Amino acid sequence: MKRSALLLVAMFVLGAIIAACGSQPAAEPEVVERIVEVEKVVEKTVEVPVEVEKIVEKEVEVEVVKEIEVEVEKEVVKVERIEVPVERVVEVQKIVEKEVEVVRSNLGEAPDLAAQVAAGSLPAVWDRIPSQPMIIPTLQDGIGEYGGVVRRFYLGPADGCNFFRLSRASLARFSQDGLSFIPSIARGWEVSDDGTEWTFFLREGMKWSDGDDFNADDFLWQYENVLLNDDLTPAPPTFLRIGTEAGAIQKVDDTTVKFVFPQPNFLFLEIVAQADEACYGSSRNVPWAPSHYMSKFHPAFNPDAEADAQANDYATWEQYYDAKTQYNLNPEKPTLAPWKFTNPLGDQVVMSERNPYFWAVDPAGNQLPYLDGIQLTLSEGGTEIGTLMAVQGEIDMQGRHIQLDQFTTLKNGEAQGGYTVRTWPTFAGSDVAFFFNMSFPGGSGDAIRTKEFRQALSLAIDRASIQEIQFLGLGQIRQGVPGPGHPHYPGDDIAKLRTEYDPAAANALLDSVFAAKDSEGFRLDANGERIVMNITVTDAFGTWPDAALAIGRFWEEVGVKTDVNTTTRSLHFTRWQTNEWAVMVWNEDTAGFTFSSINKRAPENIGTFHGPGCAQWLQTGGREGNADAEGFPCTDETLALLDMHLAGPGLPPAERNALGKEIYKTIVENQYNIGIVGLSPMVQGVIVTNNDLKNVPDEAGNDWPLRTPNTGFPEQWFYAK
């Protein structure tokens, strides 16, 4: 008998194996089997016995299980074919998920909820959670204890991510390392062979935070009354779009919903795992709504909706509906998340409390979350005051707004503050990157659109000095590509291409295209005008301005004049989106989410980093975005790059992965953006954690699409008493 890691990993990651960890107040659950479809599974070192036969295909060693029968609890599940490549990430079509039918009378619950049950103001715990709850494994310290509030600081009403990255609910969810998907609101899913239909199985008996039933009707209501309503939703939400068309949501039965697309959409699981009401409170970004509550503000269900809006100082019912749907503004709106606000975001101290109907349990059958709530304290002095709060022991878990340049100060304060500083390296890409505006007008724009010019500027950068100073020696010198082990990783040769410091080679390239210089030694365009790279950067992430100034000096050493402008985050984006700047500084934190987060590499919409003028031109049908009086702002290479990205969702995994590698090879070879240092904790990866807060993993997937720190599963954090 051979051993394969795949099945056990799948069952564990999906929250389905009952681990005997610590004290277990709940009875042993009963286990049932079902088959679900996923796209990625991460191979681990744990093993489970299966019959295997080894074959070699395309120079990759694989293990194949053919027509085996697995008997569990006297039920037989046939696994037709499971391929397990001896690589870190494997593509599979079907895996076995063990779901748990918990002995209802032995479920555990928080003491405050038990007191409400005893007082008759809350139903018993077995009437509050679904018959097949999600099982969230405990990651670090075992079965936890109830109680306690996590203290964090936040920067104002726009900082909703500070809460919603911890307290979120999505149809499917990213695993701890970010490389695979696990059930969440849906307990499983299937995809049709042609990729046009995705069927999701909900949890029977699941409820909203106010106790009302959550089922397929909430999907259908959202689709018919919000997403198809042009006044509320002028354009289809991201998760429902495929190319220029939109999909549809159908109810199969009370616990089954189907998403149907007019063309193949094999990427839907990755997209819908990012779809939640996190950060900005937009109800359009999720496929469901608490219909019993939101119908009170919709004229199709409330004839007085318009009058109610005006009575509450809103000009239209649509504005009133929008306000009521945002958790930032309206704590009364029922939620599916583990915690819910008790007062609006923007107050000096914002509190939240646990959702008494939360639909997940730990491996011992205790309802989650363990923590009573999350507290956000307004830091009116910005990140510096927040860091001081951390040093003084007033922060319990935070990476957001903790700057890497404060790492040494925070480490030195660990003993005094009673906390530990962890580092969660970013998932992929480059933690500071320089994005060329391919639609920038004039002679400087012509220089940007010259490949050799861009390539030379990459060679002109001494990345080692930036890594040592701005990154404190952490991370890896690299271009902005996915990390090793990701199916779109283009290889070490591409990841390291033109990252060596070679000013002589940079000068030779520049001499081949812009040899003429002015009296100060700066290079001139074809019209004899000085080429200037004006660089916009924000101080939102600590050392980015310092890195921009350093790179500006390197570029001037090879004769390219620079003008670095540090501004606020909002003005930074406003200036960029109006096509005013030649180079933008940000991080490439969407590498690895190649086809679901396009804008940093291709002009999908006006928020693009690649060519904002081109995006404006495409979005407005040519009315806006011209690079100059005569210029067409979209180059053929830009449009080709966009087409490559848009093709991805319609391709099955093998073809999509090959295209993903080709995209990053194309980007780096043509140097459309310049990566500096990546896989570091610079962006939201310096994690301050109270020493008494347990089950916080030492490392978890860290990037914007992963909604870090949600990959650390905050529901199972707890305080040791």
The rounded distance, in Å, linking the Cα atoms of 164 and 176 is: 17
Q: Tell me, what's the pLDDT at 101? A: 53
Same domain, 406 and 316: no
- Block residue for tokens 């922060």: 395
The rounded distance, in Å, linking the Cα atoms of 476 and 478 is: 6
Task: Of 427, 435, 431, 430, give the one whose Cα is nearest residue 599.
Answer: 435
* Lowest mean pLDDT across 22-31, 294-303, 666-675: 22-31
Same domain, 694 and 579: no
* pLDDT tens figures, 285-309: 899 999 999 999 999 999 999 999 9
Q: Which phi and psi (to 5°) does residue 541 adopt?
A: -125, 55
pLDDT exceeds 70 at position 370:
yes
Q: Tell me, what's the pLDDT at 96? A: 32
The rounded distance, in Å, linking the Cα atoms of 424 and 681 is: 5
C-alpha distances in Å from residue 656, one per residue of 426, 519, 588: 23, 51, 20
Same domain, 631 and 647: yes
Task: Of 341, 242, 225, 346, give the one whose Cα is nearest residue 284.
Answer: 225
pLDDT exceeds 90 at position 78:
no
Q: What percent of the chain has pLDDT over 70?
A: 83
**Is 337 within a domain?**
no
* pLDDT tens figures, 220-266: 999 999 999 999 999 899 899 998 899 999 999 999 999 999 999 99
pLDDT exceeds 80 at position 82:
no
- Block residue for tokens 């495929």: 242
Same domain, 588 and 534: yes
Spell out where 129-174 has E strands: 134-135, 149-154, 172-174
Same domain, 136 and 176: no
- Spatial neighbors of 118 by CB under 8 A, at least 6 apart, are none
- 8 Å CB contact between 603 and 634: yes
Q: Tell me, what's the pLDDT at 542? A: 73
**Is 177 within a domain?**
yes
Burial of 556 (0-12, 13-18, 19+ CB in 10 A): middle
Print the domain residue range for 582: 430-678
Count the domains in the chain: 4
Same domain, 136 and 84: no
- Respond yes or no on whether the N-terminal peptide bond of residue 709 is cis (omega within 30° of 0): yes
Q: Is 447 helix (H, G, I), strand (E, B) or coil?
A: helix
Q: What percent of the chain has pLDDT over 90?
A: 73
Q: Tell me, what's the pLDDT at 281? A: 53
Q: Tell me, what's the pLDDT at 520? A: 97
The rounded distance, in Å, linking the Cα atoms of 322 and 21 is: 45
Q: Tell me, what's the pLDDT at 55? A: 27
Among 55, 72, 101, residue at a domain's last position: 101
**Is 112 within a domain?**
no
Higher pLDDT, 58 or 712: 712
pLDDT exceeds 60 at position 313:
yes
Helix (H), strand (E), coil (C) string for 359-384: CEECCCCEECCCCCEEEEEECCCCHH
pLDDT exceeds 70 at position 89:
no
Q: Tell me, what's the pLDDT at 499? A: 98
Spell out where 447-549 has E strands: 476-477, 532-538
Same domain, 372 and 512: no
Helix 451-459 to helix 653-670 angle (10° resolution) is 80
* pLDDT tens figures, 42-56: 333 333 333 333 322
pTM, rounded to two decimals = 0.83
**Is 312 within a domain?**
yes
Largest CA distance in the chain: 86
Q: Whole-number mean pLDDT of the chain?
A: 85
Same domain, 294 and 314: yes
Same domain, 358 and 312: no
Region 387-410 average pLDDT: 94
Task: Report H helices in 136-285.
Answer: 161-164, 216-222, 268-274
- Block residue for tokens 């068309």: 245
Task: State the pLDDT confidence band at 375, using cuts at 50, 70 and 90.
Answer: very high
pLDDT exceeds 70 at position 574:
yes
Joined tokens for residue 597: 């987060």
Joined tokens for residue 270: 């990755």
Q: Tell me, what's the pLDDT at 319? A: 95
Q: Tell me, what's the pLDDT at 280? A: 56
Joined tokens for residue 176: 């701890």
- Spatial neighbors of 458 by CB under 8 A, at least 6 apart, are 498, 499, 671, 674
The rounded distance, in Å, linking the Cα atoms of 117 and 121 is: 6
Residues in the chain: 721
Task: State the pLDDT confidence band at 436, using cuts at 50, 70 and 90.
Answer: very high
Region 536-540 average pLDDT: 87
Same domain, 539 and 667: yes
**Is 9 within a domain?**
yes
Region 178-195 average pLDDT: 95
Same domain, 575 and 443: yes
Q: Tell me, what's the pLDDT at 647? A: 94
Same domain, 293 and 372: no
- Spatial neighbors of 482 by CB under 8 A, at least 6 apart, are 428, 429, 488, 489, 490, 591, 592, 594, 660, 664
- Respond yes or no on whether the N-terminal peptide bond of residue 369 is cis (omega within 30° of 0): yes
Residue type, 389: M
pLDDT exceeds 70 at position 426:
yes
Residue type, 335: T
**Is 398 within a domain?**
yes
* pLDDT tens figures, 120-141: 999 999 999 999 999 999 999 9
**Is 332 within a domain?**
no
* pLDDT tens figures, 682-699: 999 999 999 999 999 999
Region 499-513 average pLDDT: 98
**Is 344 within a domain?**
no
Helix (H), strand (E), coil (C) string for 108-136: ECCHHHHHHHHHCCCCCHHHCCCCCCEEC
Q: Tell me, what's the pLDDT at 631? A: 62
- Spatial neighbors of 484 by CB under 8 A, at least 6 apart, are 492, 495
C-alpha distances in Å from residue 544, one per residue of 117, 258, 477, 677: 52, 44, 16, 12
* pLDDT tens figures, 580-634: 899 999 999 999 999 999 999 999 887 899 999 999 888 887 777 665 445 678 9
CATH of residue 612: 3.10.105.10
